[in-house]
Amino acid sequence: MYQKQADNSYALIKTKDEDSGTWTFDSLNSGIYRLHSSMVYAKYITTWHPMKPVWDEALDIDLDSKDSAICNEGMLPNPSFTGPASISGALTEGLLKTAGDLLKNVRVVIKNDAGVFIKMTNTNDSGKFTTANLPVGTYKIIVDMINVPTANAKTVVLDSSNLNKEVDLTVNSSRTVTTGLNAFSSQNVIRLYPNPTIDFVKVSSIEDVVVSIYTITGILVAKGTINQFQQLSTQHLANGMYVVTMQQGLNTYTQRMIKQ
Domain at 85-182: CATH code? 2.60.40.10
Query: What pTM did the predictor assign?
Result: 0.65
Phi-psi region for residue 8, left (φ > 0), alpha (ψ -120 to 50) or beta?
left
pLDDT value of residue 245:
86
pLDDT value of residue 96:
53
CA 100 to chain centre: 21
Identify the sign of the CA torsion 37, 44, 53, 247: positive
Neighbours of 156 (CB within 10 A): 22
**Alpha carbons 83 and 181: distance in angstroms, whole number:** 21
**Lowest-confidence pick of 11-25, 50-64, 142-156:** 142-156
pLDDT value of residue 61:
93
**Lowest-confidence pick of 2-6, 32-36, 63-67, 189-193:** 189-193
- Tens digits of residue pLDDT in 77-89: 888 887 888 888 8
Question: Cβ neighbours of residue 256 under 8 Å, at least 6 residues apart?
Answer: 241, 242, 243, 244
- Tens digits of residue pLDDT in 126-166: 888 888 888 889 999 988 888 877 666 788 888 877 788 88
pLDDT value of residue 44:
86
pLDDT bucket at 111, cuts 50 / 70 / 90 = very high
DSSP-derived secondary structure letter, 56: G
Kind of pairing between the strands at 36-37 and 32-34: unpaired
Report percent pLDDT > 70 for the chain. 87
pLDDT value of residue 133:
85
Q: Which amino acid is at 96?
A: L
In degrees and rounded to multiples of 5, residue 223 shows phi and psi of -155, 140
44-19-55 Cα angle (round to 5):
45
Q: What is the mean pLDDT of the chain?
A: 82
Fold for domain 192-259? Immunoglobulin-like (2.60.40)
pLDDT above 50 for 66: yes
Question: Cβ neighbours of residue 87 under 8 Å, at least 6 residues apart?
Answer: 110, 130, 131, 134, 139, 141, 156, 158, 164, 165, 166, 167
**Alpha carbons 235 and 197: distance in angstroms, whole number:** 9
Which range in 2-16, 96-110, 177-191, 246-260 is most confidently predicted, on average pLDDT?
Answer: 2-16
pLDDT value of residue 212:
92
**Alpha carbons 256 and 16: distance in angstroms, whole number:** 50
Please count the residues of the chain. Answer: 260
- Tens digits of residue pLDDT in 22-34: 888 888 999 999 9
Mean local confidence (pLDDT), 86-96: 74
3-class SS string, 8-28:
CCEEECCCCCCCCCCCCCCCC
pLDDT bucket at 181, cuts 50 / 70 / 90 = very low
pLDDT above 50 for 187: no
pLDDT above 60 for 175: no
Question: Cβ neighbours of residue 103 under 8 Å, at least 6 residues apart?
Answer: 91, 92, 93, 123, 127, 171
Span(s) in the chain for CATH 2.60.40.10:
85-182
